[in-house]
Structure 1
Amino acid sequence: MTPETRKVDEKLLAKMRLVAARGFSNSAQGLSQMIGRELSVFSPDVDMVPLAVIPDMLGGPDNDAVGVYLRFDGELVGQIMMVISYQQALEFCDMVLDEPSGTTKEFGRMERSALSEIGNLTGSFFLNAIYEITGLSSYPSPPAVMVDMVGSILDVVIATMGAISDQILMFKAAFQIAERQIQADFWIIPDPSTLEKLTVAEMVKK
């Protein structure tokens, strides 16, 4: 990576940290209203990650996981994926449905619906935060829930785009209710022109 490229990446990441702070804060409020209990969302880490290394970062391409997928269009074009390990996703369902740990054994209609709404709300608040910070607007598709291996989930992302960046924005997040907490990854996979727009966009003064 050249010094200039590193400078561009750092400029983009600075904006994305603001997006994460605002997006996760607003999504926590929305999710708390949805489930009727206080839910907190923390985002300790944001990074630009090569697409090729994603499976290994999640334990390998054969690891089971749950993904909630949204596509976004408008001034910005790309995809958002919330990815949670299989066991953490089971625990997440127990948390939001107010069940004891270990209650959820599989992803039925109710569990998939809960995960779908969480991914949809969080993704939508992310896009709202991007608009508030950069002035660039976009709108999400309906969410789709996938229960599969990490490699297969990533294949879906790649197959649904004609042009895709070789880097993605990865947001680490923790969802917490009382003493219970789960870890999730949020991928923002922009097309190349969107990545350029996000990089050069001036921050909106409010």
Structure 2
Amino acid sequence: MSLTDEIKPMHLDVLREAGNIGAGNAATALSQLLNKKIDLNVPSVRIVDFQEMQKMAGGEEKVVAAAFLRVTGEAPGSMFLILQKEEAEELAFSLTGKEVNIIDDSFDELAASALRELGNILAGAYLSALSDFTSISMQPSVPSLAVDMAGAIISAGLLEISQAGDYAIVIDTVMEEADKEKAANANGQFFLLPDPEAFYKIFQSLGVEWND
């Protein structure tokens, strides 16, 4: 029996609930930052291997914007916030009021800083909620931002880690401006990659019993 066979829908439901609580806290922070009401929710949480992770990010050659950060504390690991090109540009506009193209010179330090701050707010809120659910201390580092093909970003991020597990926890995130009649959703994906021992620790705290 594989490791993921031990993880049941109820365990993922707890992670999704933690994600929605984190999203609620992040929405409050973003609403204050933008001076407009922002809604965030987490429709699903999944466990995937690294090959599937690249596919979900849009494929190895798909250009994306990604915030990358390390998770420190009792369950160390790494996180990616992956935004498709159009969604990164829309969010940069919402945050800065300036239209940008992430693959040319219009994508300046102001826009990059805004997306890093978005990643910082979302990661901090999610990890805080997950810490409360699991009673495991987890804190995010200051994120870095990269614009490149999804495969290159993920590979570079994994190379930066001295060790990595075989699986990622995928937290889908949907962001929208609540007061718009026809609000365009911005969909991002968080990939939480706990270091091997941390992966076991998180799920053991949720009641998963591993069988040898």
* TM-score, normalisation: structure 2: 0.87
Q: Report the Cα distance in structure 2 between the residues aligned to 1:50 and 1:59, rounded to whole angstroms.
A: 15
Give per-residue Cα distances to partners, 1:117-138, cap 9 Å, x unaligned. Answer: 1100110111110111111012
- 1:76 deviates by 1.0
Q: Report the Cα distance in structure 1 between the residues aligned to 2:52 and 2:201, rounded to whole angstroms.
A: 24
Q: Which residue of 2 aligns with 1:162?
A: 162
Are residues 1:74 and 2:73 paired? yes
Runs of 5+ consecutive residues of structure 1 not aligned to the other structure: none
Matched ranges for 1:76-115 at <5 A: 76-98=75-97, 103-105=99-101, 106-115=106-115
- 1:115 deviates by 0.4
Q: For the aligned residues, what is the CA RMSD?
A: 1.8
How many residues are paired up?
A: 199
Q: Which residue of 2 aligns with 1:194?
A: 198
Runs of 5+ consecutive residues of structure 2 not aligned to the other structure: 208-212
- 1:96 deviates by 2.8
Equivalent residue in structure 1 for 2:186, among 182, 186, 189: 182
Q: Report the Cα distance in structure 2 between the residues aligned to 1:12 and 1:79, rounded to whole angstroms.
A: 20
Query: What secondary structure, in the 3-state scheme, does the structure 1 residue paired with 2:44 have?
Result: strand
Label 1:198 to 1:11 Cα distance change in 2 as closer, same or farther (>3 A).
Answer: farther
Give per-residue Cα distances to partners, 1:41-61, cap 9 Å, x unaligned. Answer: 121111001111222223321
Q: Report the Cα distance in structure 2 between the residues aligned to 1:146 and 1:90, rounded to whole angstroms.
A: 14
Give per-residue Cα distances to partners, 1:150-177, cap 9 Å, x unaligned. Answer: 0111012210222211110011111111
Q: Does the 8 Å contact 1:11/1:199 carry over to 2?
A: no
Give per-residue Cα distances to partners, 1:17-49, cap 9 Å, x unaligned. Answer: 121111111111111111111111121111001
